[in-house]
Homo-oligomer: A and B are copies of this chain.
Amino acid sequence: MTTLIAAKDSSSIEDAENIRKACKGFGTDEAVLISILAHRNVAQKKLVRMAYEELYQEDLIQQFKSELSGSFERAICNWTMDPAERDAAFINEALKKETPDYKVIIEIACTRTSEEFLAAKRSYQFQYKHCLEEDVASKTIGDFRRLLVVVTSAYRYDGDEFDENLAHSEANILHQVIENKAFNNDEIIRILCTRSKKQLCSTFIAFRNMYGTTITKGLSTDHPNDEYMEALRTVIRCIKNPRRYLAKVLYYALNDLIAEEHALSRVIISRAEKDLNEINDLYFQRNGITLDSSVAKKTSGNYMNFLLALLGNN
Interface of A toward B, CB cutoff 8 Å: 114, 118, 121-122, 125, 129-134, 137-138, 142, 145-146, 149-150, 153-159, 161, 186, 190, 194-196
Report whether A133 and B154 are in contact in the complex, using a CB–CB cutoff of 8 Å: yes
Report whether A190 and B129 are in contact in the complex, using a CB–CB cutoff of 8 Å: no
Report whether B161 and A129 are in contact in the complex, using a CB–CB cutoff of 8 Å: yes
Report whether A131 and B190 are in contact in the complex, using a CB–CB cutoff of 8 Å: no
| Additional pairs, 9, CB under 8 Å, beyond known A125-B157, A138-B194 | A129-B161, A131-B157, A133-B155, A133-B156, A142-B186, A146-B186, A149-B153, A149-B194, A155-B155
Contact check: which of B129, B134, B145, B158 meets A195 at CB < 8 Å?
A: B134
Nearest Cβ on chain B to A142's Cβ, whole angstroms:
8
Contact check: which of B122, B138, B153 meets A154 at CB < 8 Å?
A: B153
Which residue of chain B has the shortest Cβ distance to A131 in the bound complex?
A: B157
Q: Provided the pairs A129-B161, A131-B157, A155-B153 are in contact, do residues A137 and B190 lie with their beta carbons within 8 angstroms?
A: yes
Report whether A131 and B186 are in contact in the complex, using a CB–CB cutoff of 8 Å: no
Contact check: which of B130, B134, B194 meets A131 at CB < 8 Å?
A: B194
- The docked-state distance in angstroms from the alpha carbon of A145 to that of B188 is 13
Report whether B129 and A159 are in contact in the complex, using a CB–CB cutoff of 8 Å: yes
Sample (11) of A-B pairs whose CB atoms are under 8 Å apart: A118-B155, A125-B157, A125-B159, A131-B196, A134-B157, A137-B194, A145-B186, A146-B186, A149-B194, A153-B153, A155-B155
Report whether B190 and A145 are in contact in the complex, using a CB–CB cutoff of 8 Å: yes
Q: Which residues of B contact A154 (CB under 8 A)?
A: 131, 133-134, 149, 153
- The docked-state distance in angstroms from the alpha carbon of A137 to that of B192 is 11
Report whether A153 and B133 are in contact in the complex, using a CB–CB cutoff of 8 Å: yes
Q: Which residues of B contact A194 (CB under 8 A)?
A: 131, 133-134, 137-138, 149, 153
Which residue of chain B has the shortest Cβ distance to A125 in the bound complex?
A: B157
Q: Which residues of B contact A114 (CB under 8 A)?
A: 131
Report whether A131 and B155 are in contact in the complex, using a CB–CB cutoff of 8 Å: yes
Report whether A157 and B130 are in contact in the complex, using a CB–CB cutoff of 8 Å: yes
Which residue of chain B has the shortest Cβ distance to A137 in the bound complex?
A: B190
Nearest Cβ on chain B to A5's Cβ, whole angstroms:
36
Interface-central residue, A121, A138, A154, A196, by most chain B CB under 10 Å? A154
- The docked-state distance in angstroms from the alpha carbon of A301 to that of B159 is 43
Which residue of chain B has the shortest Cβ distance to A138 in the bound complex?
A: B190
Q: Which residues of B contact A150 (CB under 8 A)?
A: 133, 149-150, 153
Q: Provided the pairs A125-B159, A146-B186, A186-B146 are in contact, do residues A196 and B130 lie with their beta carbons within 8 angstroms?
A: yes
Nearest Cβ on chain B to A150's Cβ, whole angstroms:
6
Report whether B149 and A190 are in contact in the complex, using a CB–CB cutoff of 8 Å: yes
- The docked-state distance in angstroms from the alpha carbon of A153 to that of B152 is 9
Nearest Cβ on chain B to A38's Cβ, whole angstroms:
33
- The docked-state distance in angstroms from the alpha carbon of A23 to that of B220 is 63
Q: Which residues of B contact A122 (CB under 8 A)?
A: 155
- The docked-state distance in angstroms from the alpha carbon of A122 to that of B142 is 30
- The docked-state distance in angstroms from the alpha carbon of A256 to that of B121 is 42
